[in-house]
Amino acid sequence: MVPIEEGPEPNEGELYEHHKVIASKGQEPLRVDKFLMNFIENATRNKIQQSARGGHIWVNDKVVKQNYKVKSGDEVKVLFEHPPHEFLLVPEDIPLDIVYEDDVLMVVNKPAGMVVHPGHGNYSGTLINALIFHVDNLPANSNERPGLVHRIDKDTSGLLVIAKTEAAMTHLSKQFFDKTSEREYVALVWGNLEEDEGTVEGHVGRHPKNRLQMHVFPEGEQGKEAITHYKVIERLGYVTLISCKLETGRTHQIRVHMKHIGHTLFNDERYGGERILKGTTFTKYKQFVDNAFKILPRQALHAKTLGFVHPVSGEKMSFNSDIPEDIASCVEKWRQYTKNSQ
């Protein structure tokens, strides 16, 4: 399934988000509301069904009901009505953890749970809403998102550099494009890695059947080049604490690369890490893992260090952030479990 078009589209004077998807050749018959759940992030089934009842879902240019069965080759379109303010970036007085700031850039430590930029289902409370309150006239990147040089996922915590001028945006973006910036993440993954360190290479692109996931294409036939270097920090029995350094910055890169080599991030729901992937069948073990999930209710991933050259002074800058309490507490819980199991 390949998304053909996505973006805001006007309709009779109202604002909608428009998605157009063509079902792949291998598509088994599936209700259109369930089909669309695989493609539209943060859209509930109820919201999709509301669109169907309003006559806002088409298949092959004909309005269909929510129980229509999508089949191979069908072209599916859907419109959602948006609150008017989605397309008007509203400054919001949201506290920022500012690690560094000068006239041309700032480095912030984003908490887990904060969305970086507005999008479907997240119209406010984002990092950008906070940034435009804090800084006037932020330059837009190539996707028209103010200040953003790079981004991290909603439930990933850690460091981001923000450009405050057009020149800084151009300079910093080039460093990320040229792979000269430095980014190191800390992750807790399922399983015990065989090697103390290694490299995962494999193009990353949208999953052919689930657009909310990314997929590794080892032969490079689709997607974009992606390279992740990992190193074991601590082995904790059924899980391992690792460091990951990025050469490239693809969407979900670490998450999908680690799943690709059989070591899905702990409690990464989108990629199956919220299930017990390694360990025993004992009831006490299951209870222990459930408790660990409660301590860390998100994927175990933190953008710990960030390095780049200052766009004005030319100085090499490096920043480091502490591992958040939820990841640290979960690691300590595994540490104690491993110790008591020996």
Tell me the three-class secondary structure of the chain, residue by residue.
CEEEEEEEEEECCEEEEEEEEECCCCCCCEEHHHHHHCCCCCCCHHHHHHHHHCCCEEECCEECCCCCEECCCCEEEEEEECCHHHHCCCCCCCCCCEEEECCCEEEEEECCCCCCCCECCECCCCHHHHHHHHCCCCCECCCCCECECCCCCCCCEEEEEEECCHHHHHHHHHHHHCCCCEEEEEEEEECCCCCCEEEEECEEEECCCCCCCEEEECCCCCCECCEEEEEEEEEECCEEEEEEEECCCCCCHHHHHHHHCCCCECCCHHHCCCCCCCCCCCHHHHHHHHHHHHHCCCCCEEEEEEEEECCCCCCEEEEECCCCHHHHHHHHHHHHHHHHHC
pLDDT computed for residue 81 by the predictor = 62
Domain 88-177 superfamily per CATH: Pseudouridine synthase (3.30.2350.10)
- pLDDT confidence of residue 158: 98
pLDDT value of residue 82: 55
Q: Which fold has domain 2-82?
A: 3.10.290
Catalytic residue among 33, 74, 153, 155: 153
Range(s) for CATH 3.30.2350.10 in the chain?
A: 88-177, 182-341
155 classed as catalytic: no
182-341 in CATH: which number? 3.30.2350.10
| Residue 20 confidence (pLDDT) | 79
Mean pLDDT by 10 residues, the chain (342 residues): 33 50 86 85 76 86 90 86 57 96 98 86 84 93 87 96 97 94 97 96 87 86 92 97 95 96 97 96 96 97 98 97 98 95 76
